[in-house]
Amino acid sequence: MTQSTPVRVGVLALQGDTREHLAALREAGAEASTVRRASELDAVDALIIPGGESTTMSHLLREFELLEPLRTRLADGMPAYGSCAGMILLATEILDAGAEGREAVPLGGIDMTVRRNAFGRQVDSFEGDIDFDGLDGPAHAVFIRAPWVERVGPDVQVLARAGEHIVAVRQGQVLATAFHPEMTGDRRVHKLFVDVVARRA
Ligand code: GLN
């Protein structure tokens, strides 16, 4: 691929902070579009699952008949990045997944166990600078009723921790952060993801 052909990255737009990710992706050099239906998922090289509410997004994924198409794309190796609720959905196992019948559903993009609202039980939201493997200097991390990662599989790389808790991970072409880089002006995490997609495209 040439520099003049930008990668096409979708943002799942059923619920959550879609707009911030679209803006961040464009600033990171990608062509960005919303994904609400299977045909829109088919048209992108990669997908961001935004922050929001993972239980509601799970419900809407079923309603919009996107759950199985998305699982299939991930199983086929589509690059993906999930922030906060998106991290929860990308897991293989979710703890405290929500009320019965309304649980957040794991899509299985990263071999990890994530605890939903983990920090939320201690403090609803907080921010701070954390070291992030692969970035030149710390990232400012905003946590909002954020999950943390309690277990990672052998192929998962830990990219960042807040205290002892794992808050950013990567497995192959799939990234996840418990925090929201799209809410800061810092585009380095989105650039990192766009580079992952470009190298694969
Ligand atoms: N607590 C939310 C959930 O369970 C995540 C919060 C967020 O995305 N900022 O999905």
At 104 the pLDDT is 98
> What are the pLDDT digits (tens) for 137-193?
999 999 999 999 999 999 999 999 999 999 999 999 999 999 999 999 999 999 999
**53 within ligand 1 shell (Cβ under 6 A):** yes
> What are the pLDDT digits (tens) for 105-153?
999 999 999 999 998 876 789 999 999 999 999 999 999 999 999 999 9
- 115 labelled ligand-binding: no
**84 within ligand 1 shell (Cβ under 6 A):** yes
For residue 120 the two structure tokens come to: 């939320």
At 4 the pLDDT is 56
Tell me the HSE value of 40 on the side-chain side, using a 13 A CA sphere: 17
List the catalytic residues.
84, 180, 182
* pTM, rounded to two decimals: 0.96
> What are the pLDDT digits (tens) for 28-53?
999 999 999 999 999 999 999 999 99
**Strand 46-49 to strand 80-83: parallel, antiparallel, or no bridges (unpaired)?**
parallel
Cα(26)–Cα(198) distance, integer angstroms: 14
Once rounded to an integer, what is the mean pLDDT over residues 85-108? 97
Tell me the domain boundaries of the chain: 8-200
Considering the chain, what is the average pLDDT of its residues? Answer: 95
Q: What is the largest CA-CA distance in the chain?
A: 48
> Considering only the top CATH level, what class is 8-200?
alpha beta
Q: What is the distance in A from the centroid of ligand 1 to the CA of 126? A: 14
At 145 the pLDDT is 95
